Structure 1
């Protein structure tokens, strides 16, 4: 992060004497309020500096960026770890009218998925698939807000592979206890997004020291998670909120599961057939199934005995 900051501010200082008055106002605003500028469009940033949107775009080009999107991404990287939860909430509540929260959040999530699709390294994705197919044991780790992603991924990987282990703990020592047997024939998938988990990072470092293959799912090529990985999957996340938006990472996980399942169709089919029999024999799902019938009969709920019974609410239990 320090390199990112130095790179941006060095450019601003070096080029400042050559800037027009409008560009200098932009430079001053970015220098003093980069934490706010990171969440503005080109038009919004221009309004703050009292210049046009086109001037803002040319300003980004003057600094050596390919355009405003690349400049904007640099600002995002700069503040990514500097915002705590309270600051995230203040930024979010300050820029979204209450009546537009639903539409704004949904639109933002859609945009994150589109950006992830556009910038995903297809070669890295394929490398991740090939690496997992060759693994003896697969470890999956994601803590705090990333824990549901890790649990989701490990759940489905267990339907594809024989030895999948979800690493979870409340202390760093417990992490290493679960990774003590990891070796060069194994793979660990580390999932972490801002603010990055130090325990996850240390686990990646440990796995790398044991010559295990390390795959990361994170938000940027500048993420510290990539220090120890041989394969980086990048998915955009939304940091400017009290709630981490992880819809794009989940989409990448879905794609990874589908790709692996297609490569091992016979094994997956056998596993699913076995599970279906177990679910049926032990009535795992039958008590929760609902059958639709005509309007006069309403809904019928199915119980293990297969009989119908009125429940006093207009439904019939079977």
Structure 2
């Protein structure tokens, strides 16, 4: 419906409106979560032009037009789209394991950028200075959130994993302030609770870090510090986000290397003493 309206009315658009139309036809997802001012600045046109364009297509202003854009985007972000694509792909029948390895190698090769590194360095500084650090992720993203929490918890005592169903998340965040830091991890399809909780944290003036797949995801557009962990379009994998999380853990640990190593050693000795780990040297009967 959205694209059909543009194509059907294209010849009746003004030159400025055609600039807007051409952009939407080539990369409409970029405006899905932008305000009318942000979208107009992106195209170097006036907000009034964006409004008139929305009305020209039959919408009652920009908000209704944007909902139509978001609806089109939502249809593309169907759950497990990458997994479905991999299963349906007839070209990876011979050696699925090698194909998966090769795709993930390419993801890692294309993941690094100066933009990502600058935000990565900023995140490390925020972690070191934060009073409390909260981590939140739902559904498939929860496994990465828990892993991140588990690794940092080995040598830090101010790490809190937020989970639905364990008390109320908003109760746990009631006293957060600008001295705290919250990590939000989410990938398509983005969960409503994650976006709403991010908005709540911003209302409390708490610094937010959004780890997500794209600069135009709702996390990246709204978080104070976005970290982009690109995914392959052909495989559903968390190899990029796990790489970033591991790098964050190592970088934070290096900030006070001697203390970190000592805490890791003490933790290992305690768990060994309590018999948490299987003793391979124990004699068999």
TM-score w.r.t. length of structure 1? 0.62
**How is 1:1-318 mapped onto 2 (pairs within 5 angstroms)?**
82-85=76-79, 88-95=82-89, 96-118=91-113, 121-170=116-165, 174-240=168-234, 244-285=236-277, 288-290=278-280, 302-303=281-282, 308-310=283-285
* SS in structure 1 of the partner of residue 211 of structure 2: strand
Q: 1:87 to 1:282 in 2, by over 3 A?
A: closer
> Larger RCO: Structure 1 or Structure 2 (Cα < 8 Å, ≥ 6 residues apart)?
2
d(CA) in 2 for partners of 1:128, 1:87? 30
Whether the 8 Å CA contact 2:154–2:267 is kept in 1: the answer is no
- CA-to-aligned-CA distance 1:169-213 (integer Å, 9 cap, x gap): 149x82212222211110000000111111111111111110111
- CA-to-aligned-CA distance 1:270-289 (integer Å, 9 cap, x gap): 3123213312332222xx23
TM-score w.r.t. length of structure 2? 0.69
Q: 1:148 to 1:129 in 2, by over 3 A?
A: same
Whether the 8 Å CA contact 2:137–2:184 is kept in 1: the answer is yes
Q: CA deviation at 1:105?
A: 1.6
Q: 1:99 to 1:162 in 2, by over 3 A?
A: same
**Unmatched 5+ residue regions in structure 1?**
15-30, 35-77, 291-301, 311-318
* SS in structure 2 of the partner of residue 238 of structure 1: coil
* SS in structure 1 of the partner of residue 131 of structure 2: coil
Whether the 8 Å CA contact 1:160–1:264 is kept in 2: the answer is no
Whether the 8 Å CA contact 2:212–2:227 is kept in 1: the answer is yes
Larger radius of gyration: 1
Aligned CA RMSD, in angstroms, stands at: 3.0
Q: Which consecutive segments of 4 or more residues in structure 1 shift more than 6 A? A: none
* SS in structure 2 of the partner of residue 250 of structure 1: helix
* SS in structure 1 of the partner of residue 196 of structure 2: helix
Whether the 8 Å CA contact 1:193–1:237 is kept in 2: the answer is no
* SS in structure 2 of the partner of residue 121 of structure 1: helix
d(CA) in 1 for partners of 2:223, 2:265? 36
Aligned length: 223
- CA-to-aligned-CA distance 1:21-48 (integer Å, 9 cap, x gap): xxxxxxxxxx8xx9xxxxxxxxxxxxxx
Q: 1:160 to 1:93 in 2, by over 3 A?
A: same
